[in-house]
Each structure stands twice: as C-alpha cells, then as structure tokens.
C-alpha cells in the first residue's frame, strides 16, 4: 500500500488539492448567496448583473428586450419583443463553472504569477462566453422555441464545458509545472 501511495503521490496531491479548493470556493460562494438575499439585487448581484448585461447585448443586437424579476421564483425573466423566452437563475451566472475551472488550475499550479493571471483571464473568458451563450440561447429560444430542450440541455452546456476543457488543456500543456510529475 505504501508503495502505491509513493508511486501516485502527485496524483493524490492533485485530487486532494482540487477537492479542498473546490470545497472552500463552493462554501464561500454559498455564503455569498446566503448574505445576498438581503441585498437590493434580485436574486443575487452576479445573476442580476448577467441578466442586465444579457439585456444590453440583446438590445445592442437590435432586439427589443427587457428583464424583469420573476414573481414566483428567484430568477429574472428575459423578454424579447414582448415574448418571455428564458429566465436567468443563479446557475446561469457561470460562477460554479468558474469555481470548477479555478480549482483545477490551482491544483495544477504553475508559477504563482502565471497561475493568478491565467486564473483571472480564464475566469473572464468563461464569464464572457457564458454571457454570449445566454444571448444566443435567448435568440434561439425566441426564434425556435420548439428546440428548447436541445438548445438548453445539450448544445449550450456542451459549448461552455468545452470551453473550460480547452482552457484546462492549454493550462496543462503550456503553463503548469506539475504535469511532468503526474505523467
């Protein structure tokens, strides 16, 4: 048993580091969600911001859109040309995906400055890509509402998680100092 632990020390370190970072960031995010119930942004600041930015992008693309708090659940409704097409919930704000991304990056850390900058840049890319994803999804649901299931549960999750995987691959192959230890 000891020989296996020594042999796979780097793998075990990666897994434990990933789980600890993921756990800490998730707990912090849940604390944020709990305290944000008392703030003026509904349902929380980041979700509210994503909805407002989605609205601005939709209007910038020539659609007449607006966002309204959902009266029956903690979400914000996206309305295009008077038609309710989608809702932005807490899970749509990309924070959980960014937490997953950062946990991996930190577990496969490179130099401190490189890890910090790549983590920040990757988080911005994920956030921006998620925003674009919601805009395209809203337009798709406006024009093709019968494709709701395919658009929301297959195509767009595949794109956002695909982006995260690409960022991870770039990180591991270009910046991480631990890849040689695990391989």
> In the chain, what are the domain boundaries?
2-42+94-182
For 42-68, the pLDDT digits (tens) are 888 999 999 999 999 999 999 999 999
Among 101, 129, 141, which residue's Cα sits nearest to residue 18?
A: 101
In percent, the amount of the chain with pLDDT more than 70 equals: 95
Average model confidence (pLDDT) across the chain = 89
Helix locations, 37-111, DSSP H = 45-60, 95-107
Residue 182 has pLDDT above 60, yes or no: no
* pLDDT on residue 38: 60
Phi-psi region of 79 (alpha: psi -120 to 50; beta: other; left: phi over 0): beta
Is residue 37 predicted with pLDDT exceeding 70?
A: no
The pair of three-digit structure tokens given for residue 149, joined into one six-digit string? 């299931």
The DSSP symbol for 71 reads: S
> What is the arithmetic mean of pLDDT over 81-102?
93
Three-state DSSP at 23 gives helix
pLDDT confidence tier of residue 39, bands split at 50, 70 and 90: low
Q: How far apart are CA 155 and CA 147, in angstroms?
A: 10
pLDDT in tens, 128-163: 999 999 999 999 999 998 988 888 888 888 888 999
Whether the pLDDT of residue 117 is over 70: the answer is yes
The more confident residue out of 83 and 37 is: 83
With 50 as the cut, is the pLDDT of residue 183 above it? no
CB distance 88 to 57 below 8 Å: no
């Amino acid at each position: 048993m000891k020989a296996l632990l020594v042999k796979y020390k780097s793998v075990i370190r990666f897994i434990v580091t990933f789980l600890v970072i993921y756990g800490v960031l998730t707990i912090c995010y849940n604390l944020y969600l709990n305290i944000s119930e008392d703030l003026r942004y509904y349902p929380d600041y980041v979700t509210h911001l994503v909805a407002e930015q989605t609205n601005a992008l939709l209007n910038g693309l020539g659609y007449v859109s607006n966002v309204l708090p959902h009266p029956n659940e903690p979400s914000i409704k996206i309305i295009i040309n008077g038609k309710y097409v989608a809702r932005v919930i807490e899970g749509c704000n990309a924070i959980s995906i960014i937490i997953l991304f950062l946990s991996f990056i930190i577990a496969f850390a490179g130099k401190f400055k490189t890890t910090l900058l790549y983590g920040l840049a990757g988080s911005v890319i994920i956030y921006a890509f998620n925003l674009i994803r919601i805009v395209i999804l809203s337009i798709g649901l406006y024009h093709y509402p019968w494709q709701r299931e395919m658009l929301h549960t297959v195509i767009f999750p595949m794109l956002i998680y695909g982006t995260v995987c690409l960022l991870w691959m770039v990180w591991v192959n270009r910046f991480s100092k631990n890849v040689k230890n695990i391989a």
